[in-house]
């Protein structure tokens, strides 16, 4: 499960901004350096807050979603998505989104997965302020975070290896910008139409356009119940939850204001993975 991340979840509902004419707006890139010293951890950058009365309403806050993850006909684990914290992140009011995935004990001996992803979404614009990945998948290890400094159009990234050694990097971004997880929540806030194509600028330490196609409406039966859904296909270039670069991902979002990710199916290097909604809180 090299990519068995909460992404059959998060990447799954990749949401995106709907720019005019279906094209991501061109924003001039400013050249400026991110000031040092760089933050050693993210905890120092945010603390609990409350929503202001002028923040636009979103249908997906607050909520907690749980998914059964299947490999073929075999249940292999559980994944979750939660959005019930508001924080002041790097000086901006934000939603804190948490995505997790873990294999069942029976499968731990074969390929143990313990993944956690977070994203901080600007409460006003719904674009990304940064994201965090802590991935443990068999022998695969990744600890990294990325901060987006929108005022100077740059990102700062930190990677940590198993020994605890830290390496920083930075680069340019367009504004607005999304990570994979924030793009999903932005998409959930859109007025979906069959046949439409949505494009959003995404940064995963590389800048690339994420294209999401709305194919048709279908009715699905999952452990959490029956749902009328939009069938959506995000065209991924980079890795995401439960999916590797270049593989296929299909998502079903509920046909209601919340656009709940009801089911996700991904083609990965070891076969096909399916995440089905099992609990809504």
Would residue 1 count as lying in a domain? no
Q: What does the DSSP 8-state code read for residue 90?
A: T
Domain of 128 in residue numbering reads as: 11-27+40-280
Would residue 130 count as lying in a domain? yes
Is the sign of the CA dihedral 182, 184, 188, 193 positive or negative?
positive
User: Which tens digit of pLDDT belongs to each residue from 145-204?
Assistant: 999 999 999 999 999 999 999 999 999 999 999 998 999 999 999 999 999 999 999 999
When pLDDT is cut at 50, 70 and 90, the band that residue 43 belongs to is confident
Would residue 273 count as lying in a domain? yes
Cβ count near 64 (within 10 Å): 13
Would residue 34 count as lying in a domain? no
pLDDT in the model for residue 235? 82
pLDDT in the model for residue 40? 82
- Give dist(CA 155, CA 204) in Å, integer: 10
pLDDT in the model for residue 44? 87
Assign 43 to helix, strand or coil: helix
Would residue 6 count as lying in a domain? no
Residue 98 CA, chain-centre distance (Å), reads: 9
User: Which tens digit of pLDDT belongs to each residue from 237-275?
Assistant: 554 443 334 467 899 999 999 999 999 998 766 678 899
For the chain, percent of residues with pLDDT exceeding 90: 69
User: Which tens digit of pLDDT belongs to each residue from 84-113?
Assistant: 999 999 999 999 999 999 999 999 998 899
Would residue 214 count as lying in a domain? yes
- Give dist(CA 173, CA 29) in Å, integer: 7
User: Which tens digit of pLDDT belongs to each residue from 118-150?
Assistant: 999 999 999 999 999 999 988 989 999 999 999
What is the rounded end-to-end Cα distance, in angstroms, of the chain?
Answer: 28
pLDDT in the model for residue 71? 87
| Residue 1 in this model has a pLDDT that exceeds 60 | no
pLDDT in the model for residue 178? 96
Assign 223 to helix, strand or coil: coil
Would residue 110 count as lying in a domain? yes
**Complete DSSP assignment for 100-135:** EEEE-HHHHHHH-BEEEEEEEEETTT--EEEEEEEE
Residue 199 · residue 183 · CB < 8 Å: no
If one counts the domains in the chain, the total is: 1
């Amino acid at each position: 499960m090299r990519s068995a991340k909460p992404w059959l979840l998060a990447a799954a509902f990749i949401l995106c901004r709907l720019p005019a004419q279906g094209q991501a707006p061109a924003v001039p890139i400013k050249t400026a350096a991110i000031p040092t010293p760089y933050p050693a951890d993210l905890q120092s950058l945010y603390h609990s807050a409350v929503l202001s009365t002028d923040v636009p309403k979103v249908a997906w806050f607050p909520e907690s979603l749980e998914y059964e993850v299947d490999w073929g006909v075999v249940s292999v684990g559980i994944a979750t998505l939660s959005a019930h914290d508001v924080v002041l992140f790097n000086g901006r009011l934000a939603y804190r989104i948490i995505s997790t995935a873990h294999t069942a004990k029976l499968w731990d001996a074969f390929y143990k997965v313990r993944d956690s992803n977070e994203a901080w979404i600007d409460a006003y614009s719904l674009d990304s302020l940064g994201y965090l990945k802590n991935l443990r998948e068999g022998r695969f290890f990744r600890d990294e975070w990325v901060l987006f400094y929108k005022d100077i159009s740059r990102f700062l990234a930190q990677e940590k290896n198993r020994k605890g050694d830290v390496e920083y990097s930075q680069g340019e971004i367009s504004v607005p910008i999304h990570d994979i997880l924030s793009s999903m929540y932005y998409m959930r806030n859109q007025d979906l139409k069959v046949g439409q194509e949505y494009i959003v600028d995404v940064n995963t330490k590389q800048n690339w356009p994420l294209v999401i196609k709305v194919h048709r409406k279908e009715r699905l039966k999952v452990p959490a119940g029956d749902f009328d859904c939009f069938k959506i296909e995000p065209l991924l270039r980079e890795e995401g939850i439960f999916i590797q670069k270049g593989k296929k991902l299909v998502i079903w979002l509920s046909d209601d204001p919340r656009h709940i990710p009801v089911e996700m199916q991904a083609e990965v290097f070891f076969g096909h993975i399916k995440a089905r909604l099992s609990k809504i809180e």
